[in-house]
Amino acid sequence: MKTRYLFVLSIFYLFLSCKSDQKGNIITEPKGWEIIETPVNASIRGLSPLTSEIVWASGSNGTWLLTLDAGKSWSSGIIAGLDSVDFRDIEGLDATSAIAVSAGQPAVIYKTIDSGATWEKKYEGPGTAFLDGISFYKNQKGYAIGDPIDGKWMVLETIDAGETWTWLESSPMAEPGEGSFAASGSTILTDQDHIWFTSGGIKSKVYMSADGGHDWEITDTPIIQGEPSQGIFSISKLDNNNLIAVGGDYLQPDLAYNNTIYSMEVGKNWELISTTFPSGYRSGVTYFPRFHWVISVGTNGSDYSVDGGINWQKFSDEGFHAVFMDKAQGSIWASGLDGKIARLVY
């Protein structure tokens, strides 16, 4: 109870500032989503908005997309001709460079430096490898997470903007039945030397390193777990100390039970957070500091919270796989089935 009180107090101070637009109008809630037409019908899980204008995306059938004008026009294609591969995560480095990671076999990482015209393979894992996502800190240094092989997690590191990748010998061990979800790369998060990644299934834990992956702290969580379809699907930072994670059971999209947890200690300890949970399974979460909103999405709709995730309210029935704030912190984007990409309206 004391921990919850301290969290509420910290969030109160975090959310004190006025929510207004440039015209001075008070904005209290998101209005919904602006669905943006794209030239593809693939399932889009990889999403990397750089600014309110520049957005990379990727998905099933080897699909990649890039807009430089907020979705008015798109470039698109198939990564290296791999039309049977699902690229569930993509990291845009700039308007011409991006790195895409596959889910399933082959477990590959590709990079483009010419706005998607050509893609070069930078990594391929063992035949049993399954990559789940990537996360970069200021473009040069990044990490990828893959499911355990012989009980050991695949934590890959790059220090040259994705040109080369090394499987860290210090990668932690996993329990039997434990894996990570290929949920748009949102089960892994990096910030300077900090790395967090999450697991799900029989056990749902948070793995945290404060020294670039050399040493790891492993924390059990109270989120729903125990079945292969349950656990944490997305993690996000609220500030330097407070983190939030969402998930649930993807086989029960309307189950709004124990699907949100928080940490006040940089991810070292986790507690159930809400009196009103998001309205079902949630595969993506992001924090929008402009209005101090936490936005979560899933297949049955979208929710928001104004108090750091303590209470949630549904604001849209539009279903999505992924949600991210752009790196310039000016807009929120989401992606989903049938080539669907959208921008938050407020």
Question: Could you read off the pLDDT of 57-87 as tens digits, one per residue?
Answer: 999 999 999 999 999 999 999 999 999 999 9
Low-confidence ranges of the chain (pLDDT < 70): 1-24, 274
CATH number for the region 33-345 comes to 2.130.10.10
Q: Considering the entire predicted model, what is its pTM?
A: 0.92
pLDDT score at 138:
84
Q: Tokens at residue 60, please? A: 């099933």
Amino acid at 253: P
Round to whole Å and give the CA distance between 5 and 261: 15
pLDDT score at 12:
46
Report in angstroms the alpha-carbon separations of 104 from 39, 83, 87, 147, 334.
Answer: 25, 13, 9, 10, 23
Q: Tokens at residue 88, please? A: 């569930």
Q: Would you give the distance in Å from CA 336 to the centre of its chain?
A: 13
